[in-house]
Amino acid sequence: VTNKYSKALYVGGVAGYTTGMVSMSKADGNITCTNEYTTYAGGLVGRSMKVLNSYSVGDVSVNVTKGYVLYIGGIAGEQNDRITECYYSFGDLFGQSAGTVYSGGISGFAKAKIDNSYSSYSYIVTDMSKSGSEAYLGGITGYNNVELYNVYSMNFIDGKADGENKTLYIGGLAGYNNK
């Protein structure tokens, strides 16, 4: 997917954007996109509400060429409701943006509880050597604003932030925990 015209891009293996529940779903395939503006990309859903008993297998690779935000996750780029009994495995997340990157094995940016879920055997990578200001990388979520319960991650997480005025947060479960 290449997008140069809309102000935001929502892309996922099942849906780009959901306002309802995704349940008992599977996405098996790779997602690659380039966008100039804010992007929500997930192995299952780009921007989600509730996701239950679902999984995703495959690579998610996104490049945001201007100074906008990238939300990228194995299940959801950004989640606004609970994720439970979900997993992301055997796929890699690669996010690059001239702005901020939120990247996690389950959710890039968690606004609701994640429980009974895991992410494993994946590479979670961002490269801010050429541009970008902040990156939040976590085995479960890049930025956590909620409760994590009974989750685990067995991933390789790598962030590159060469240059001045760059901030990189990396954690086994959450890159940044605000809860």
- The two most distant CA atoms of the chain are separated, in Å, by 45
Q: What single DSSP character describes residue 82? A: -
Global pTM value: 0.94
- Does the structure show a pLDDT above 80 at 21? yes
145 CB-near residues (< 8 Å, 6+ apart): 109, 110, 111, 178, 179
- Residue 155 token pair: 């991933």
Average pLDDT over the chain, rounded to whole?
A: 92
pLDDT score at 43: 96
- Does the structure show a pLDDT above 90 at 129? no
Distance CA 53, CA 85 (A): 5
- Does the structure show a pLDDT above 90 at 87? yes
Place 3 in a pLDDT band, splitting at 50, 70 and 90.
low
- Does the structure show a pLDDT above 70 at 53? yes
- Does the structure show a pLDDT above 90 at 108? yes
Coil, helix or strand for 18?
Answer: coil
Q: What single DSSP character describes residue 92? A: -
Closest alpha carbon to 122 in 174, 87, 162? 87
What mean pLDDT do residues 74-85 have?
Answer: 96
Place 67 in a pLDDT band, splitting at 50, 70 and 90.
confident
